[in-house]
Amino acid sequence: MSVDAVALDLDNLRLDELDLSDPDFWLRPPAERHAVFDLLRRERPFAYFGEPDIPMVEPGPGYYAVTRYADLEALSSRPAVFCSGEGAVSILDIPADLNEFYGSMISMDDPRHAKIRRLVSKAFTPRMLERVVDSVREIVDDVLAQARRKAEAGDGTIDVVADIAAPIPLRVICDMMGVPAEDRALVLTQSNIVLSGGDPDLIENQDDPLTAVLEAGIAMAGVMERLAAERVANPRGDLTTALVTTEVDGERLTHQEIASFFILLLVAGNETTRNAISQGVLALSENPEQRARWAADPGLDRTAVEEIVRWTSPITWMRRTATEDGEVNGHRFAAGDKFLLFYAAANRDPEVFRDPQVFDLTRDPNPHVGFGAKGPHFCLGAHLARREIAVTFRALFEQLPDLEVAGEPDRLRSSFVNGIKRLPARLTGAR
């Protein structure tokens, strides 16, 4: 399959023609991807796929794609049997130190996971979160004002990703961690590389994309290790200071563990919120009656945010690895088997969601797994992400009511992040 391949024949899909490991598959329109998920849920809920072909990397044994909500919940609720420590954010088997460095808590199992999470949770206090949440509106207002000025100074056009969706969560996280302004461009560029999925638009050296990802992570870690050392000498009222000074049972986080947590924040906090915002703007453009209803009724903020997260599923999957032989919902597995938990598929499972292919901002209840499934790895920053999304869209309705999507999205070539690189838009009042 290539980027220029003809559209899938959705009425005559064949399982033996599908390959979720083909990077180009993830450039297909969402309707085609979800038609494939529908087929997998119905006919082969534990479909097996070979690993992606990556230059200079020896392919591993492959994985099972978990596409039913019930199966995904079953695996997530048994962390001792389906572990994260073998790699949660990569299909490939990578060295243990790199796995933990790039995955932080997401790629750990208890008891180490519990220890790190306790330390981070103690630093991530309700008081600190309240202060961050209070600053979100100020950041959103400033970002939207800059977008308006850019449109008025030019031809009335902006890029929803670069001018709105990317700077908001990045500024929230960098403010929270105390990252100085001169380091933020580097953080944005390198985080894009880490989460690129090998996209040639973000990684120039396609002969060795893995090295580019490793170097990007090292660059971001260098920023945070420097800041951690500075906060030991000169404490401030930011999360980095809290992380270096917090102690549980006589233990503290190392500077490397703090750097790893920073990378996790950029994955779980920056990219998730960024793509929920950009994909949400696109979804509202495609469903104008839903947009009008939400704009007129702030009381819909709670359910609307949950539906945007369900609909977009910014993180497409997480991986688990079997630690022993066994069976789950009729599927036999062996120790060492890999499973990719496709949250994007589970979030459209008709056994759980009525009319799952309908974008409904009033959907309630909405037990989506956009922030992870039940279990020890549920997103620590879900409350903050919800707040950022709600504040952003309420401010968009109030400050940029003339925002119109003006072209097709440029999608990220990644199976892991359901991302948009560019989304052209215009402010009709700025012309």
**By the 8 A CB rule, do 91 and 340 touch?**
yes
| Cβ neighbours for 108, distance < 8 A, ≥ 6 positions apart | 84, 85, 100, 116
Q: Give the CATH H-level superfamily of domain 52-430.
A: Cytochrome P450 (1.10.630.10)
Coil, strand, or helix at residue 261?
A: helix
In sequence order, what are the beta bridge partners of 66?
46, 341
Give burial (CB, 10 Å; 0-12/13-18/19+) of 205: exposed
Helical H segments across 252-361, by residue range? 255-264, 272-286, 288-296, 301-312, 343-346
Tell me the three state secondary structure of residue 322.
strand
- Distance from C-alpha of 66 to C-alpha of 48, rounded to nearest angstrom: 9
CB 311 within 8 A of CB 359: yes
Task: Please choose, from the candidates 172, 204, 176, the residue with its C-alpha nearest in 3D space to the C-alpha of residue 189.
Answer: 204
Domain boundaries, the chain: 52-430
Q: Considering just the CA atoms, what is the radius of gyration of the chain in Å?
A: 21
Contact status, residue 386 vs residue 129, Cβ threshold 8 Å: no
- Phi/psi of residue 365, nearest 5 degrees: -75, 165
d(CA 56, CA 204): 16
Whether the Cβ atoms of residue 75 and residue 320 lie closer than 8 Å to each other: yes
CA 76, 77, 79, 80 dihedral sign is: negative
Name the pTM for this structure: 0.92
CB atoms within 10 A of CB 426: 18
Alpha-carbon distance of 178 to 310, in angstroms, equals 31
Helix and strand numbers (H, E) in the chain are: 16, 12
| In contact, 405 and 423? CB cutoff 8 Å | yes
Alpha-carbon dihedral sign for residues 155, 161, 162, 164? positive
Number of C-alpha atoms within 13 angstroms, CB side, residue 123?
Answer: 23
* Residue 143 · residue 171 · CB < 8 Å: yes
DSSP 199: -
Show pLDDT as tens, one digit a residue, over the chain (431 residues). 344 456 788 778 888 889 999 989 999 999 999 999 999 999 999 999 999 877 666 778 899 999 999 999 999 999 999 999 999 988 988 777 777 776 688 889 999 899 888 888 888 777 777 778 788 999 999 999 999 999 999 999 999 999 999 999 999 999 988 999 999 988 888 887 877 767 778 777 677 777 887 888 889 889 989 999 999 999 998 889 988 998 888 888 888 888 888 888 876 778 789 999 999 999 999 999 999 999 999 999 999 999 999 999 999 999 999 999 999 999 999 999 999 999 999 999 999 999 999 999 999 999 999 999 888 888 888 888 999 999 999 999 999 999 999 999 999 999 999 999 999 999 998 76
